[in-house]
Structure 1
Amino acid sequence: MSLPERTFVVDALRTETVGGVLLLVAAVGALVWANVPAIKGSYADVSHFHLGPSALGLDLSLAHWAADGLLAVFFFVAGIELKRELVAGDLKDPRAAALPVVAALCGMAAPALVYTIVNASSGSLAGWAVPTATDIAFALAVLAVIGTSLPSALRAFLLTLAVVDDLFAILIIAVFFTGSLNFAALAGAVAGLVVFWLLLRKNVTGWYVYVPLAVVIWALMYNSGVHATVAGVAMGLMLRCTTREGERRSPGERIEHLVRPLSAGLAVPLFALFSAGVTVSGGALGDVFGKPETLGVVLGLVVGKTLGIFGGTWLTARFTRASLSEDLAWADVFALASLAGIGFTVSLLIGELAFDGDAALTDEVKAAVLIGSLISACCATVLLKLRNAKYRRLAADEERDEDASGIPDVYEQDDPAYHLRMAEIHERKAAEHRRIARDMAAQVPGGTGAADGRPA
């Protein structure tokens, strides 16, 4: 591409809307590829095609590379976002961060509880963590497309909630889905992270230093038994996200600006392409609502997320000093809670880890994630459209200036002079209408004036 074309494409990939659309296209493409009879056999062949140096323990399938390798780029960007929120964003002020942080925690606990209740009789609790995650890219994309008139505070609330959600999802992966540890490889990964941090402290620059080091850290983390995406978020958290004298942007912001197109345009869509390809049929969809494992995932995303986030936020505001932003209403929070039930990327990843070794159940759980996310997205779309329409009407009322005074009428209604000016405007309009009526009557032979009945 030419430079202007390349710049246009890269800038587009930095927007949440485009990233969400690419994610959706990849997921739909995976479903089509895995279900059309003529080509569905090639989907499994491509997904299970292995490449990589086996001597280094990296002879992985393409699907494995997408989940463990490319997704580390997504978590690297998420780590930078979290760091920025902690040092310069909403999470810096504990009072401002209290509600979205509690909402995120309750929004993870409630789906896990719903899943546990549904599966208590069967005793199959391996997938309790699947419905706990919120997909940042999808949720922000839906909000960006629908919420053109919604308050900016709603996006800040969702971003903070989703970042905290991602942090704890990473902790869940590290703690509950780590098998046997290779302590030598883990020590090597930790040593690599220390070197990474020291280079940042010494202000060493150059991608040719950090990219090879990041690849080594990732490979060691993968071979240690800890999920390799943890390496991505750890490196993201180490970047400095505050500006110093003479800096227009911090190193973290600059690197996020450079890496985000790679994450949104390649890493996340390829992960969706190799993870969302499950066989869908009438019987399979029926099984989603007939098996406790899959039903628990759907209810966890649709019901658990909504009740957990909304209930946690309301209880915190009711019984503590934390308060909801003046720009938001509780109906906004409820719509946002429903939107957070979109648990696509990380939920698919956790589903693969939770049911590793049972390919059939893994596919069914993936189908449950897709269905639960779709239901949540549809419900949130309806609710957000209603709220968006209300805020659009309010914005129109605030901008109305019928007296052409340069001051919106809504701000003048308590001014006694406002009513006098409006009466004068109405009188002038009435006089203008009478003049037009007389002029029209004058054009008719024998006509009379509308006002006094005299000959025109």
Structure 2
Amino acid sequence: MSKVRHIIRSRFINPILEFIHDSRAVGITLFVCTIISMVLANTGAAERYIGFWNMELHAPEILHLPHSLLHWINDLLMAAFFFLVGMEIKRELLAGELSSFKKSIMPIAAAIGGMLAPAGIFLLFNAGTGFQHGWGIPMATDIAFSLGVASLLGKKVPFSLKVFLMALAIIDDLGAILVIALFYGGDVQVKFLLAGAAICVALFILGKTKMKFNFIHIILGLLLWYVVFRSGIHATIAGVVFALFVPLKDLSNFIHRLHDPVNFLILPIFALANTAIPIPSDFAGAISTSLSWGIIAGLVIGKPLGITFMSWLTVKLRLGEKPKGSTWFQLGGIGALAGIGFTMSIFISMLAFREVENQDISKIATLIASLAAVFIGYLWLNFPGKKNPN
């Protein structure tokens, strides 16, 4: 029996564990899920496959809960993703790369540039059109994909630049969260906001008692999700708010425990559900719109432009320093990798437009832009460039 266990572990379990712990694994998994989903959505099984994600799930009408599997994924499961993101932001702000002005100023400035430039470019294409509400779509960076590609390059990307990219992407996530909360919600219901505030007070008091994080916190977290869902602010914001009440001493443990379930279960399900996109017969016509070009140009051009310019300005004003051992050429390549939008861009696409057609065009444009950013960033950083004079 022990020999059989050894064979199973060595041939199946160990390779899976090695893959999961590889920094490229999340990006590869999401890419594979996207390919599978798009293939199924454009074959004879398309109607059943797309219908599966959109099937109605009936709950008592008085509760006003999400009414389809897709909405449950985007409203509840993604709240767990945002909870993980919120804890990562809190950890970095309190004890990580963003815990001091000197450490944080460069990635903060770069992230701001990397959000404003894509949004501005998108509006250049779409101001005054019916698509202008999608300006938040090209602002996002997918941390898993971008870091995964950077890892593929090994020592060609200095470690300091990988840390810079991670910090930048975390600030970018915070920016996306604020954009979703402020601009992509519905009509605000004050009574539910007040209920949410009361739950936050209860969580704060529990924190002061130094009670161990337990099922009471989880129940309050679920209640917080429900009242935020009913408030008109997007329900996933509850995940970020809940993360603020996790004690600092527990953050690393919780992040470690949630990392694999979120990245290898929730995000793949999100990718499968949200990239079930039927390719239109007039594909060229469908993507030759100001909406698609605004997203593509925003991610592929706006990201490296905004990140590099704001980084240069920060150094020029002597507020921060370029990542150690890196060149401006390499930093531009990191900016190109930050144009991989994927998860958050697709998520914002679902919030920006009610029309399925516009959602699909936005998603296709995001996928095209993200693939372009992968290739451009990879080739850019593979190029020898100029040696760092330092």
Instruction: Give the TM-score of the pair, scaled to structure 1.
Output: 0.78
- What residue number does 2:132 align with? 125
Q: CA deviation at 1:183?
A: 2.0
Once the two structures are overlaid, the 10-residue window that deviates more, 343-352 or 212-221, is: 212-221
- What residue number does 2:100 align with? 93
One of 307, 310, 334 as aligned partner of 1:309: 307
Correspondence 1:165 to 2:186? no
Describe the SS at the equivalent of 1:178: coil
Give the distance between the partners of 1:53 and 1:87, measured in 2 at CA.
Answer: 41
Q: Which runs of 4+ in 1 moved over 6 A?
A: 2-8, 388-391
- How many residue pairs end up in the alignment? 379
- What residue number does 2:350 align with? 352
One of 30, 34, 40 as aligned partner of 2:46: 40
How has the CA–CA distance of structure 1 residues 202 and 34 changed in structure 2, closer, same or farther, with 3 Å as cutoff? Answer: same
- What residue number does 1:231 align with? 238
Give the distance between the partners of 1:192 and 1:16, measured in 2 at CA.
Answer: 36
* Deviation readout 1:194-217 (Å, 9 max, x if unpaired): 222332332322543333322221
Correspondence 1:137 to 2:144? yes
* Deviation readout 1:49-99 (Å, 9 max, x if unpaired): 122533322142111111111111111111111111111112112122111
How has the CA–CA distance of structure 1 residues 259 and 197 changed in structure 2, closer, same or farther, with 3 Å as cutoff? Answer: farther
Contact 1:13 1:264 in 2 (8 A): no
Q: CA deviation at 1:382?
A: 0.8
Structure with the greater alpha carbon radius of gyration: 1
Give the distance between the partners of 1:373 and 1:112, measured in 2 at CA.
Answer: 16
Once the two structures are overlaid, the 10-residue window that deviates more, 147-156 or 250-259, is: 147-156
How has the CA–CA distance of structure 1 residues 322 and 74 changed in structure 2, closer, same or farther, with 3 Å as cutoff? Answer: same
Instruction: Give the TM-score of the pair, scaled to structure 2.
Output: 0.90
- What residue number does 1:381 align with? 378
Contact 1:107 1:306 in 2 (8 A): yes
* Deviation readout 1:247-305 (Å, 9 max, x if unpaired): xxx201111111111110111111111111212256224421x2111110110010111
Describe the SS at the equivalent of 2:197: helix
Contact 1:294 1:368 in 2 (8 A): yes
Gaps of 5+ in 2: none
Correspondence 1:116 to 2:123? yes
Describe the SS at the equivalent of 1:45: helix
* Deviation readout 1:317-376 (Å, 9 max, x if unpaired): 1123322133211111101000000011111111111112x1111111111111111111
Q: CA deviation at 1:15?
A: 4.7
Contact 2:329 2:386 in 1 (8 A): no
Contact 1:355 1:361 in 2 (8 A): yes
Give the distance between the partners of 2:225 and 2:322, measured in 1 at CA.
Answer: 40
How has the CA–CA distance of structure 1 residues 8 and 260 changed in structure 2, closer, same or farther, with 3 Å as cutoff? Answer: farther
RMSD across aligned positions (CA): 2.4
- What residue number does 2:203 align with? 196
Give the distance between the partners of 2:13 and 2:75, measured in 1 at CA.
Answer: 28
Correspondence 1:253 to 2:232? no
Q: CA deviation at 1:10?
A: 6.4
Give the distance between the partners of 1:281 and 1:149, measured in 2 at CA.
Answer: 40
* Residue type at the aligned position of 1:274: A
How has the CA–CA distance of structure 1 residues 389 and 286 changed in structure 2, closer, same or farther, with 3 Å as cutoff? Answer: farther
Give the distance between the partners of 2:152 and 2:385, measured in 1 at CA.
Answer: 11
Correspondence 1:339 to 2:337? yes
